[in-house]
Structure 1
Amino acid sequence: MADPDDAFRQHGWPGLRARLFHLYFALTRPMTLGTRGLIHDTASNSVFLIRHTYVPGWQLPGGGVEAGETMAEALTRELAEEGNIALTAPPVLKSMHFNRRASRRDHVGFYLIEQFSQTAPKLPDHEIAEAGFFPLDRLPQGTTPATLRRIGEVFRDEPASPYW
């Protein structure tokens, strides 16, 4: 049976770049920890997704927790960087996941955010190719399997997987 995540692996220079980037973090951190946020606009029943310049697929915004930073601080920073989104209430930690696709030591804290503001639409830059809100019943083609699993866990009460 084909691995559903295989279609989202980068090849060539972008894939090498992504692997080198992760290797740098693996060498500089004994364990990697990240955050991802499911930003839900309850008024339009839509979610905010991003598409990076260096990995394929639409996914939830987030990133690595830096030294001296809490998970909530990292999430706040990443949402501002990747979506011009500011939290107006504390995010809700929904689950923790082992990201075995990234390495044998990567974990991701998954948060639900329903109280936020967006200061301006996110314009493309060196990291984010595209970003925007999408209705739950019309997610963009190429939404990553992990993103679809997290959406299912929140909105369809599917059991939370221990894996990202």
Structure 2
Amino acid sequence: METDPEKTFRQTGWAGLRARLFHLYFVLRRPMTLGVRGLVHDTASNSIFLIRHTYVPGWQLPGGGVEAGETLAEALARELAEEGNIALTSPPALKSMHFNRRASRRDHVGFYLIEHFSQTTPKLPDHEIAESGFFPLDRLPEGTTPATLRRIAEVFGCEQPSPYW
């Protein structure tokens, strides 16, 4: 059976082009941001890794934005390396997804539990990270953010994950 290339393009090409144009329209009209955060848990000492940024108050879980062309897991690995000199030694466990309505009307965060990692040297302060370190779960630093405390309670306190960050 012969196919007419021009007819095929009219049937599929215009639809594909239209789909790409609609996608572009929605990206420009309603952009959504996506981020990741990781709860790095040292099971041997029952401690977690927290950071304090130079530009926002409070101690929080490491993480950041997912860049174009990056998977969530790739973004998490990059952010852990940048913010904590932490390398994943096995795949992290995606625990939940959250709508971060405090950041914007279109921000979402993938939350991961990391229990298999290495850190060859502690993270030194820089222009982004003021302080970082591992803290025992029963002695978290003063100023730990409410969202961080909620995620810890969801993982270790058997609380249901909130849909909100």
TM-score interval, smaller chain: 0.7 to 0.9
Q: CA deviation at 1:62?
A: 0.3
Give runs of ≥4 in structure 1 deviating > 2 Å: none
Q: TM-score, normalised by structure 2?
A: 0.82
How is 1:108-123 mapped onto 2 (pairs within 5 angstroms)? Answer: 108-123=109-124
**SS of alignment partner, residue 130 of structure 1:** strand
Cross-structure match for 2:55: 54
Q: CA deviation at 1:121?
A: 0.3
Q: CA deviation at 1:112?
A: 0.1
Number of residue pairs matched? 138
How is 1:52-131 mapped onto 2 (pairs within 5 angstroms)? Answer: 52-131=53-132
CA distance in 2, matches of 1:119, 1:65: 25
Structure 2 counterpart of 1:133, one-letter code: F
Q: CA deviation at 1:30?
A: 1.2
What are the Cα deviations for residues 69-119 of structure 1, in whole angstroms up to 9, with x where unaligned?
000000000000000000000000000000000000000000000000002
CA distance in 2, matches of 1:109, 1:33: 8
CA distance in 2, matches of 1:147, 1:51: 12
Structure 2, gaps ≥5 residues long: 1-26
Report whether the alignment pairs 1:146 with 2:147.
yes
* Higher Cα Rg, which structure: 2
CA distance in 2, matches of 1:70, 1:48: 22
Structure 2 counterpart of 1:53, one-letter code: T
CA distance in 2, matches of 1:160, 1:35: 15
Structure 2 counterpart of 1:72, one-letter code: A
Q: TM-score, normalised by structure 1?
A: 0.82
Structure 2 counterpart of 1:45, one-letter code: N
**SS of alignment partner, residue 148 of structure 1:** helix
CA distance in 2, matches of 1:156, 1:99: 21
**SS of alignment partner, residue 151 of structure 1:** helix
Structure 1, gaps ≥5 residues long: 1-25
Identity, in percent, stands at 88
Cross-structure match for 1:5: none
